[in-house]
Chains A and B, each alone.
Chain A
Amino acid sequence: EVQLVESGGGLVQPGGSLRLSCAASRFTFSNYAMSWVRQAPGKGLEWVSVISGSGGNTYFADSVKGRFTISRDNSKNTLYLQMNSLRAEDTAVYYCAKSYSSGSYSAFDYWGQGTLVTVSS
């Protein structure tokens, strides 16, 4: 079965940076867009960013635009989220999620277990 394993979370000071990784396996990684979705403690789900299978197209939520960068290394089957200028409101569990189809319209059929990012001094 598809496996997604996030890493890189932790405690960081406001204004700091962190890079999350998501190691993917058991599917053809380069065929699918991948997203990051986050969930603040006790809150709902918020989509953060998506990158196309080739890596050529990306989109971001307004709340992270200009501060976060998404990338992927298809040779390593790994997705990344570079988070800069972190704020307290970025505190959340960050999930990577796989699109279920290779088309433009796709929900998320597999999710990682999540990695917690805490922004605090």
Chain B
Amino acid sequence: DIQMTQSPSSLSASVGDRVTITCRASQSISRWLAWYQQKPGKAPKLLIYQASNLESWVPSRFSGSGSGTEFTLTISSLQPDDFATYYCQQYNSYPRTFGQGTKVEIK
């Protein structure tokens, strides 16, 4: 099974800050990586697929990059609506696996 490791597990940041979350795969997954945003009590929402493709609803302050085993999610200027937990997920092979999540909190 492919293990996905996110860092950090949590972070505190202020509105306007640049935030970067890293996701590492235990073996190469090409670019078959997605990022999800989840708010408390809600289902996850797809943010980015194939490592860098933004879903239509996603603001341009979000970006994704990487390939192989190392990936990043960047929020260029954190907004109040962005405080949430973010998960990466590989879909290169079964079983599909998620990172443990990164909780972005208000400083």
Q: Contact size class for A?
A: 20 to 34
Distance (Å) between the CB of B10 and the closest chain A CB? 12
Q: Are B94 and A59 in contact (CB under 8 A)?
A: yes
| Chain A residues positioned under 8 Å from B89 (CB to CB) | 45, 47, 107-108
CA distance A95 to B38 in the complex (A): 13
Q: Quick one: CB contact mask for B65-94 with A, threshold 8 Å, 1 for yes?
A: 000000000000000000000010101101
How many cross-chain pairs have Cβ atoms below 8 Å apart between A and B?
Answer: 57
Contacts of B99 in A (CB 8 A): 44
Evaluate contact between A105 and B94: CB separation under 8 angstroms.
Answer: no
The size bracket of the interface on B is: 20 to 34
Chain A contact residues: helix, strand, loop or mixed:
strand
| B92 to A, closest residue via Cβ | A105
Instruction: Establish whether residues A50 and B96, one from each chain, have CB atoms under 8 Å apart when the complex forms.
Output: yes
**In the bound complex, what is the Cα–Cα distance between A60 and B95 (angstroms)?**
7
Contact B46 A108 (CB under 8 A): yes
Which of B43, B49, B95, B100 is the one whose CB lies under 8 Å from A107?
Answer: B49
- Whether the pair B91, A107 counts as a contact (CB closer than 8 A) is yes
Digitize A89-121: 1 where CB-to-B-CB distance is under 8 Å, 0 elsewhere: 000000100001000011111111110000000
Q: How far is the CB of B51 from chain A (nearest CB, A)?
A: 10
Q: Is the Cβ of A114 less than 8 Å from the Cβ of B43?
A: yes
With A35-B96, A59-B95 as contacts: A44 and B43 at CB distance below 8 Å? no
A interface with B by C-beta (< 8 Å): 35, 37, 44-47, 50, 59-62, 95, 100, 105-114
Which residues of chain B have a CB within 8 Å of any CB of chain A? 1, 32, 34, 36, 38, 43-46, 49-50, 55, 87, 89, 91-92, 94-101
User: Other than the known A44-B101, A95-B43, A107-B49, what 5 A-B pairs have Cβ atoms closer than 8 Å?
Assistant: A45-B36, A62-B1, A62-B95, A105-B92, A111-B45
